[in-house]
Homo-oligomer: A and B are copies of this chain.
């Protein structure tokens, strides 16, 4: 079997086991067995448990980012771009629950050697959203309301956090789903909820209509 195929099988098995057990508790024996490979071969190809975990996180994060990026048609109107990006995000996380569990629940601990790698990958997702908002803001700028770069970065962080939380709500194994009653929201429902929260807000902002506290 070509090395590439073998490696993919090992990563598939590792994502499943890490998602179920967490980084610390996962056993290399179980991963090797599930991959149908010997443990020495897993070490030969992937080097160490730590590098195996990093490789899993990288693969899953890159797939998620690619799914969102390819869903956003640069020629579409601003709200349609966001809508398509959000739907792709929720569809991908629902279709890859183990990969999502890895990114969302297992990988945020710091102090772990892979923490920087995870932070770097999440930042790429924030960058995609930042681009999306910045492009919208430039279109809005014809109506004299350029948004400062820093505020755009903050908005992107807020939007990504909101999407993560909603994807967690949809994933029955995640911590966010603990209080959920009823079926998990569909990708359509999650994306619709977030558009209703965010779009009219962003939409107003792009047109220079800011929120301000009333003087009290």
A105 interfacial contact with B, CB 8 Å: yes
Known A-B contacts A160-B165, A209-B200; the reply to A173 vs B110 at CB < 8 A is yes
Chain B residues near A178 (CB-CB < 8 A): 116, 119-120, 122-123
B174 & A154 in contact (Cβ 8 Å cutoff) = no
Q: How far is the CA of A197 from the CA of B109 in the complex (A)?
A: 28
User: Is residue A24 within 8 Å, beta carbon to beta carbon, of the partner chain?
Assistant: yes
Complex Cα gap A22–B214 (Å): 42
Instruction: Sort chain A's interface into a size bin.
Output: 35 or more
The residue on B at minimum CB distance from A182 is B150
In the complex the two chains form, what is the Cα distance from A203 to B198 in whole Å? 11
> Is A139 an interface residue, CB under 8 A from the partner?
no
* Option from B175, B179, B182 in Cβ contact (under 8 Å) with A110: B175
Residue of B nearest to A20 (CB): B111
- Cβ of B194 and Cβ of A158 under 8 Å apart? yes
Copy count, this protein chain: 2
B154 close to A189 (CB less than 8 A)? yes
Query: Within A188-205, which residues are at the interface with B (CB < 8 Å)?
Result: 189-190, 192-205
By the criterion CB–CB under 8 Å, are A106 and B105 in contact?
Answer: no
Q: Which residue of B lies closest to A79 (CB)?
A: B211
Chain B residues near A79 (CB-CB < 8 A): 211, 213-214
What are 22 contact pairs spanning A and B, CB under 8 A? Answer: A80-B213, A106-B109, A106-B110, A108-B108, A119-B178, A122-B178, A123-B178, A126-B179, A151-B193, A154-B185, A154-B190, A154-B193, A155-B193, A155-B197, A157-B168, A158-B193, A161-B161, A161-B164, A161-B165, A161-B166, A198-B198, A200-B203
